[in-house]
């Protein structure tokens, strides 16, 4: 009896010890496998084959592939890699397994279309993905919006963007901005207000956090571009008045050209440079800005997208 108790005690201790070591080893395996070339190969690339292999459980398989797509892009983006070769096939497989998984189409429009490092640089595949989505979900306005969004932001094809928005505006419960965007596209294509309207619509309608954070970063960048343009114009006017550029925003305010010290979208004040330019204090925190960076500024390899919460 005593021997049996001793065996139980040893077995129990061994169980706890080996369980702990197994978990620790699993974490080590994860670190080894995260960079392994294994992740770079999609062994079954045919959605049709996968659908058959799923034995009818294609919904679950679609969820698994969707998770893989998000993890693949997130992991690579985080590690600063600039190629996302598997993102398109992963999203295509996901949507073909479950054509009604709308978030996958939105993800494709936001991260498949843009050029690296923000996306895979495959706008045509993103358009094809949206077209597939539209064929399977003809009444969902988001897909038309996604398509117009890619045409507008990545391909600069404003006519096709306007057409996609117009088609989307005719869907039931379409966002009112679609009709506005379709109407104003020809007239205002390429201007800041149009871009702001696009990113605001994305920001307001998405439920995906990464898409929302990306839209917020673009909106901040648009705000900075506009602020810097306006502030440099004011500083130029000050130069015309006084023969020199202002040394501080206080001087511009004293001259009646400005009300107080302007702040960037993250709450930091702008810098007035001796040559009249205006710069942001932390350009790394404001990806996608076109203006307000030092002349020799090199953006980080991975855009710093701040979380929305």
Partner 1 sequence: MSSRVFNIAFNTFREAVRDRVLYNLVAFALLMTGAAILVGQISIDIERLVVVNLGLTAVSLFGMVIAIFIGIGLVSKEIEKRTLYTVLSRPVRRWEFIVGKFFGLAGTLIVNSVCMAVGVFAALFYVSRHFQSADGWVLVGLYFIILQFLIVTSLTLLFSSFSSPLLSAVFAFSLFVIGSFSEDLRGFASMTRGISKWLATAAAYLVPNFSALNVISSVAHQNPVSGQLIVYNTAYALFYATMALSGAVLIFERRNLK
**Interacting residues with partner 1 (CB under 8 A):** 3-4, 7-8, 11-12, 14-15, 18-19, 21-23, 25-26, 28-30, 32-33, 36-38, 41, 43, 64, 67-68, 70-71
- Shortest Cβ distance from residue 106 to partner 1 (Å)? 16
* Rounded least distance, CB 298 to partner 1, Å: 32
Q: What 3-state class would DSSP assign to 19?
A: helix
CB atoms within 10 A of CB 116: 13
Cα diameter, the chain: 102
Q: Are 111 and 69 in contact (CB under 8 A)?
A: no
CB of 59 to partner 1, least distance (A): 14
Q: How far is the CB of 63 from partner 1 (least distance, A)?
A: 9
CB of 38: closest distance to partner 1 in angstroms? 5
Nearer to partner 1, 22 or 79 (CB): 22
Residue 18 or 254: which CB sits closer to partner 1?
18
Long-range pairs for 256-265: beta carbons < 8 A, 24 or more residues apart: 258/231, 258/234, 262/227, 262/231, 264/220, 264/223, 264/224, 264/227, 264/292, 265/219, 265/220, 265/223, 265/224
User: Minimal distance in Å, beta carbon 86 to partner 1?
Assistant: 14
Q: How distant, in Å, are the alpha carbons of 176, 181, 261 from that of 167?
A: 13, 11, 44
In the complex, the smallest distance separating the C-beta of residue 162 from partner 1, rounded to whole angstroms, is 37
How far is the CA of 171 from the CAs of 43, 117, 136, 144, 145, in angstroms?
A: 38, 34, 14, 9, 11
Would you say 25 or 186 has its CB closer to partner 1? 25
Query: DSSP strand E in the chain: where?
Result: 271-272, 278-279
- Looking up tokens 């929305």 gives 308
Q: Which residue has the tokens 């989307």?
A: 168
Q: Between 7 and 115, name the residue whose CB sits nearer to partner 1.
A: 7
Question: In this complex, which beta carbon is closest to partner 1, that of residue 21 or of residue 192?
Answer: 21
> Is 14 or 241 the residue whose CB approaches partner 1 more closely?
14
> Which is closer to partner 1, CB of 43 or CB of 243?
43
Q: For residue 180, count CB atoms less than 10 angstroms from its CB and return exposed for 0-12, middle for 13-18, buried for 19 or more.
A: middle
């Amino acid at each position: 009896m005593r021997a049996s108790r001793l065996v139980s005690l040893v077995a129990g201790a061994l169980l706890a010890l080996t369980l702990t070591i197994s978990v620790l080893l699993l974490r080590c395996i994860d670190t080894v496998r995260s960079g392994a070339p294994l992740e770079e190969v999609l062994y079954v690339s045919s959605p049709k084959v996968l659908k058959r292999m799923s034995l009818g459980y294609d919904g679950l398989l679609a969820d698994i592939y969707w998770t893989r797509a998000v993890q693949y892009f997130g992991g690579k983006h985080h590690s600063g890699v600039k190629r996302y070769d598997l993102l398109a096939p992963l999203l295509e497989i996901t949507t073909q397994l479950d054509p009604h998984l709308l978030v996958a189409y939105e993800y494709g429009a936001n991260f498949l279309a843009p050029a690296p490092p923000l996306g895979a640089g495959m706008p045509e595949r993103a358009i094809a993905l949206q077209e597939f989505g539209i064929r399977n979900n003809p009444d969902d306005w988001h897909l038309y919006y996604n398509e117009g969004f890619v045409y507008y932001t990545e391909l600069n094809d404003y006519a096709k963007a306007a057409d996609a928005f117009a088609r989307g505006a005719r869907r039931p419960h379409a966002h009112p901005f679609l009709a506005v965007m379709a109407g104003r596209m020809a007239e205002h294509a390429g201007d800041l207000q149009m871009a702001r309207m696009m990113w605001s619509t994305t920001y307001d309608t998405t439920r995906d956090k990464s898409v929302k954070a990306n839209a917020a970063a673009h909106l901040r960048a648009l705000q900075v571009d506009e602020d810097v343009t306006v502030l440099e114009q004011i500083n130029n006017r000050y130069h015309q008045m006084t023969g020199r550029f202002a040394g501080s925003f206080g001087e511009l305010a004293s001259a009646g050209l400005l009300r107080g010290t302007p702040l960037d979208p993250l709450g930091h004040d702008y810098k007035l440079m001796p040559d009249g330019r205006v710069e942001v204090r932390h350009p790394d925190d404001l990806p996608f800005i076109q203006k307000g960076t030092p002349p020799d500024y090199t953006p980080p390899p991975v855009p710093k997208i701040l979380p929305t919460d």
